[in-house]
Amino acid sequence: MISPRNIRLRCLLALGACALLRAQPAPEPAPAEPLAATDVPAAETPSEEKPAAAPEFEPQPVRNWLEAQVELHRRGFSCGSIDGVRGPQTAAALRAFQRMADLNDTGDLNRATSEALLLTAPVFTQHTFTAEELARLQPVADTWLGKSAQTTLACATPLELAAESFRANPGFLRRLNPDINWDSILPGVVISVPGVERAVITGHATRLHVRLAEHELEATDETGRVIAHFPVSIARNVEKRPVGELHVTVVIPDPDYTFDPAVFPESPEARELGRKLIIPPGPNNPVGLAWIGLDRPGYGVHGTPEPEKVGRTESHGCFRLANWDARTLLDLAWVGLPVDVEP
């Protein structure tokens, strides 16, 4: 039995080994207005008044890209961070859904797709910050030695916590909550957030597919039907990209990470330390909230503390997902699961 806290991950990440690409975010439209609920009159009784029952949400075709992103995430077709913009990751997720639904995979939100991708709940919900979750926030140290001394690598700010919890772009959350002072959040503060926290996958994964050129990872069932789709980062160096069939060897939630100075020869801190360090678990851990090891030494699929950078060509060989997608995949993965890595 492998202990998630003691296992030493050997993933050869390029964290700190090369400059990360910094893409300018695309301009994003203002978020769609929350869907209005239908008023339901309270029941009349001769003896007492009863509160009106909450109206049931009636599924309806998605009307815009924000609604499409939220509903795609609910079904396991990840668009990256929710922002209401039809970017390449949103278009790729929609094409995967269209293939699953036997529609033309155009990536366009046409009428047939809108009617197949029914909105199953309101687009927005509310989150109330609690004293307990705010108390768990802590700054992340700038050095490897400092990180190793922390009890956990939790979220550092309320904005990061909300973005991580509800799969949202931080800038989008700011626009959605223009009156919130994110630097002084107190218990009881209420914010609007996308109405999605976890994905519900229909089906059993029998194979994973990593398509390097498309920067995407998909899970299929025994019939070959796509049941989940995620944007993924791949290795910067072509020779570090494994091609062919691999297999899952271990599935670990909330992993720790072993910092090996030998992997970071250009780092002054690594040269000075001269010893390995154990980095504690948490969303800001270098491998995020999940580790799915592969039968190629040092390679795996894992989360990342920087979801906005997922989908790029910058890793040292491993396949990086947003933390929320890595946790979704963790529920689908099993030891022995085949993984086809395609050019």
Tell me what pLDDT residue 53 has: 60
Please report, for residues 32, 226, 247, 249, 269, the alpha-carbon distance to residue 117 in angstroms, rounded to integers and kept in the order given.
Answer: 17, 15, 32, 35, 50
Per-residue pLDDT of the chain (343 residues; tens, 9 = 90+): 444 444 343 333 333 333 333 333 333 334 443 333 333 233 333 344 555 666 789 999 999 999 999 999 999 999 999 999 999 999 999 999 999 999 999 999 999 999 999 999 999 999 999 999 999 999 999 999 999 999 999 999 999 999 999 999 999 999 999 999 999 999 999 999 999 988 999 899 999 999 999 999 999 999 999 999 999 998 776 777 888 999 999 999 999 999 999 888 888 999 999 899 999 999 999 999 999 999 998 899 999 999 999 987 766 668 999 999 999 999 999 999 999 999 9
In degrees rounded to 5, what are phi and psi of residue 314?
-155, -5
In terms of Cα–Cα distance, which of 93, 69, 92 is closest to 81?
Answer: 69
Tell me what pLDDT residue 18 has: 32
Assess contact for 279 and 151: CB atoms under 8 A: no
Assess contact for 303 and 321: CB atoms under 8 A: yes
Tell me what pLDDT residue 37 has: 32
In terms of Cα–Cα distance, which of 78, 101, 104, 165 is closest to 129?
Answer: 165
Containing 174, the helix (H) or strand (E) segment is: helix 170-176
Place of tokens 């964290």: 15
Q: Report the Cα 174 to chain-centroid distance in Å.
A: 19
Q: CA 87, CA 89: separation in Å to the nearest integer?
A: 6
Structure token pair of residue 20: 């990360």
Extended beta strands in the chain, E state: 60-61, 118-119, 124-128, 190-194, 207-211, 216-220, 226-231, 234-235, 244-253, 257-259, 277-279, 290-294, 300-302, 313-315, 319-320, 338-342
Assess contact for 283 and 153: CB atoms under 8 A: yes
Q: CA 283, CA 316: separation in Å to the nearest integer?
A: 20
Global pTM value = 0.82
